[in-house]
Amino acid sequence: MDDELFDAVRSEACAEGRPADRARRIADLIRLRTRRRWIGIYRVEADRVVNLGWSGPGPPAYPRFPVDRGLTSAVIDSRTTVVSNDVASDPRYLAALQSTGSELIVPVLIAGQVVGTLDVEDGRQRAFDEDDRVIFERLAAALRDLYIP
């Protein structure tokens, strides 16, 4: 993946405008360039996780949910990327789209704190590998300015 996508995400993250509008544009950019089925960008608050923007075949099934639910809770607790390449067998998975086979969630960290997540869903099982993890972690790092007031 060339640096053009990372630069575009970074530029959009620090652009003028509402965070939700910027997040939707970023989700579209990432989904189109990575050819993944669904992208969600979330803000992590004290007790809940809130969707800021998404791109894909439908809205998030859970636009807001408690921080202790789903794969996202494992990301928040560990401050590391979580990959589930078979969500049907993963009890942590919060069903979003029934056709999801794999999900990868990356934390957005500022000063060691999880302030947001980048959620990537694919219809296939075993859709994510180490190269995907590296790419989406770079993209999540490019999102940091989205969370700075």
Q: What is the pLDDT of residue 149?
A: 80
Contact 116, 143 (CB under 8 A): yes
Neighbours of 125 (CB within 10 A): 15
Report pLDDT digits (tens) over 108-148: 999 999 999 999 999 999 999 999 999 999 999 999 999 99
Report pLDDT digits (tens) over 28-65: 999 999 999 999 999 999 999 999 999 999 999 889 99
What crossing angle do the helices spanning 19-34 and 3-13 adopt, rounded to 10°?
170
Q: What is the pLDDT of residue 74?
A: 95
Report pLDDT digits (tens) over 92-108: 777 666 678 899 999 99
CATH superfamily of this structure's domain 3-147: GAF domain (3.30.450.40)
Q: What is the pLDDT of residue 1?
A: 62
Q: What is the Cα–Cα distance from 115 to 99, expressed in whole angstroms?
A: 28
Starting at the earlier edge strand, list the strands of the sheet with 113-122.
64-66, 48-55, 38-44, 113-122, 102-110, 82-84
Type of residue at 60: P
- Provide the whole-model pTM: 0.94
Q: What is the pLDDT of residue 96?
A: 64
Q: Which helix (H) or strand (E) holds 19?
A: helix 19-34
Report pLDDT digits (tens) over 55-80: 999 999 889 999 999 999 999 999 99
